[in-house]
A and B are shown apart, each in its own frame.
Chain A
């Protein structure tokens, strides 16, 4: 069942028969995993397939119930992450482990600062950090506090730390999920450089196109089981998706007729937000204007930091702005808080599901109904029967998979969590819904479901604004696309006229230099 070393090369890492159980769940069962030398290996699977658990076993964060690990042909045991690191296996998690107030150099060498037993040699610290930073193109003074770095740069610091430990295998858990396309391209280049230096990289991602652009081999897990592995060159997207979900999903991004557009639901004119002394790193908005029609999906594309999220938050009353007019159904409005915006029929599904949208410890039912208590209350009291009916309705409509509505939302998978957040807003029947990164970090089949849901919402007459860093997503579901760069709108294009290349050009262009600026 295992196509062991098809290229005739001995693997440098081999995990055999790994099983791990948690109370009530079998997370891994008899999983095999092999990585060759100087190889970029994609570990694939839907959320809950067991990727993270497998990587935690590999990194020493979990101990497996059964199975063995061999590194360079030698059996190894990693009781703690420290042991794994010493053996040359370093894991970079999705949530960074950097200390924001320490410098780059301190973070890279944290706990292993060069110098004597008592004192740190700051010069050696800086020099060694600079040497590593150069290898991966991190062009920052080693004495810069990590707080001042962008997300992409912080990731480079994590990589620098891994390199400083002389690691042989670097595990990257969804390194690209928070990066813009340009940053992803940069990271890909760095990963190729590391490969050329002889390192092996284990790469987890939900963006399949990255697998084909970057990786040499892949392994697919499903429901805690090993499904298969092979050379990326020998397969295609459909085959991999089939392995991941265990059946045909159909065309991931099918064509969709452009709907008839209704009246303008939302109009933003000259939205401007300047930096203040208190927040010098804030992303500025300069003269942002856009319109969203009833019944359409407006895609908002741009690199990370382009001001898309900031525009959404300003419209929703979550952040203040300095100048500009917002009109809802032609009527000029001004919002002090999200509450005001909601009263005018605007909703926002924020970018960071766990930090900004969900109450992870509270029941799913509360998570769905918290914003729309009017619909389930009599006076001050919650009518539990009405609440149950409402929750049931959305549970079925969005096929939210849960054990019971009393289950804490934190126990659901990413895709189901996102559906819970969408249900919260659907229950309010908004006229305008802004969805920031609708499918970040959720599995392929949930992704399709969420997309279909957004399309249905638009069909029902809602104005839907979708912000996404994944161009295929923007291209597949938007009717019209507005691009932003550094706080300005740089162009607008109908979906039928757009390709990834055109959008990329618009997202990186200066204002006015956009290739198309179609007026609708």
Chain B
């Protein structure tokens, strides 16, 4: 009916230099940052240091993977640091064979082994996360408020559970998950990258992944397209809980200790990693690849600052500024796209 000729003129072209640069901005920034640190401090590029960076980011990296799911639905999970502490204590208690044994230094024999410890941490995380998901979908409380409540409640639960003290001293088979290496690669790094691949495949290639984007992009349209919006929303908080449990186990293994103050302030680092990686806080846009880059970027930044003897107080200021700039960039890129 309509000639294709006029239509072609009307459709905007896809190539846009700014758009192109915006998409790779985190990667470009990461490479630039590494170049700067390498120039300023030769130790930075040593393989020991680079693996060190990767190991350091693997815990927050795991949390950032699940945070990507949450933020894709235009939600937020502020409780990750607290839940990490709580689940970690549960794992530690199981590994020690009960709270009564918490002061014995781990010679083994009495505990339930790393497998059951990891499983219990994951189950606790999953349940707590799902509970928050239900509060979001059934009670219609905004995610920010629900997880702010969770942030306080799980920290409290961790303190009550542990009585305030650490639980430490595990069997080598437990600590291997945090301190071991396969070849030159630290085990936490392998766990992080393996789950990154799983998360990437889930978001990119599964029906569920598409639904997460759809619910985040337009919840009303998703409902009218027959998606079970509440179930998808609740599920991302359960996933977040699952990763809190997993990360708590790895963290306890790495530190050979679990304590109620573990993970304090992690939510900020995690959210920063996701947002810097290009995931939009408004939902519906973002990738796991971006999150991995964002995670490494923050790790490199902190590591480089430490190597350059910048005080940890100033590091906090820098992270805060970077979050705001990353979101400002996202908003700017979006408004520019809309104008075209």
Question: Residues on A close to B: CB < 8 A?
Answer: 22-26, 48, 222-224, 245-247, 249, 316, 318, 337-339, 342, 348, 350, 355-362, 366, 370-371, 373, 377, 380-382, 384, 399, 401-404, 407, 410-413, 424, 445-446, 448-449, 452
Known: A223-B9, A411-B12, A449-B1. A366 touches B221 (CB 8 A): no
Residues in A neighbouring B226, C-beta threshold 8 A: 337-339, 342, 371
Q: Is A361 in contact with B220, judged by CB distance below 8 angstroms?
A: no
- Count residues of B near A (Cβ-Cβ below 8 Å): 41
Question: Residues on B close to A: CB < 8 A?
Answer: 1-4, 6-18, 205-208, 210-211, 213-214, 217-218, 220-228, 284-285, 338-340
Residues in A neighbouring B222, C-beta threshold 8 A: 359, 370
Top-8 shortest CB links A-B: A24-B13, A359-B217, A371-B225, A48-B10, A401-B7, A342-B226, A339-B226, A373-B207
Minimum CB–CB distance from B61 to chain A (whole Å) comes to 24
Contacting B221 at CB < 8 Å: which of A25, A247, A357, A402?
A357
Q: Is B16 in contact with A23, judged by CB distance below 8 angstroms?
A: yes
Residues in B neighbouring A382, C-beta threshold 8 A: 205-207, 210
Residues in B neighbouring A373, C-beta threshold 8 A: 207, 210-211
Q: Is A401 in contact with B225, judged by CB distance below 8 angstroms?
A: no
Known: A223-B10, A401-B4, A445-B1. A359 touches B340 (CB 8 A): no
Q: Is A449 in contact with B18, judged by CB distance below 8 angstroms?
A: no
- The CA of A401 and the CA of B9, in the complex, are separated in Å by 11
Residues in A neighbouring B340, C-beta threshold 8 A: 22-25, 411
B19 and chain A: residue at smallest CB distance: A23
Known: A358-B221, A359-B221, A366-B213. A380 touches B208 (CB 8 A): yes
Q: Is A350 in contact with B206, judged by CB distance below 8 angstroms?
A: no
Given contacts A25-B340, A316-B224, A371-B226, 20 further A-B contacts (CB under 8 A): A23-B18, A24-B12, A25-B12, A338-B226, A356-B220, A357-B225, A359-B217, A361-B217, A361-B285, A362-B214, A366-B210, A370-B227, A380-B208, A381-B205, A382-B206, A382-B210, A401-B4, A401-B11, A403-B12, A411-B340
Residues in A neighbouring B284, C-beta threshold 8 A: 359, 361-362
Minimum CB–CB distance from A22 to chain B (whole Å) comes to 5
Residues in A neighbouring B205, C-beta threshold 8 A: 381-382, 384
B223 and chain A: residue at smallest CB distance: A338
- The CA of A48 and the CA of B207, in the complex, are separated in Å by 34
A404 and chain B: residue at smallest CB distance: B14
Residues in B neighbouring A339, C-beta threshold 8 A: 226-228
Q: Is B13 in contact with A399, judged by CB distance below 8 angstroms?
A: no
Residues in B neighbouring A223, C-beta threshold 8 A: 6, 9-10
Contacting A22 at CB < 8 Å: which of B210, B211, B223, B339?
B339
- The CA of A247 and the CA of B2, in the complex, are separated in Å by 9
A376 and chain B: residue at smallest CB distance: B207
- The CA of A446 and the CA of B18, in the complex, are separated in Å by 32
Q: Is A413 in contact with B213, judged by CB distance below 8 angstroms?
A: no
Known: A361-B285, A382-B210. A355 touches B220 (CB 8 A): yes
Q: Is A402 in contact with B206, judged by CB distance below 8 angstroms?
A: no
- The CA of A66 and the CA of B59, in the complex, are separated in Å by 55
Q: Is B207 in contact with A380, judged by CB distance below 8 angstroms?
A: yes
- The CA of A358 and the CA of B15, in the complex, are separated in Å by 23
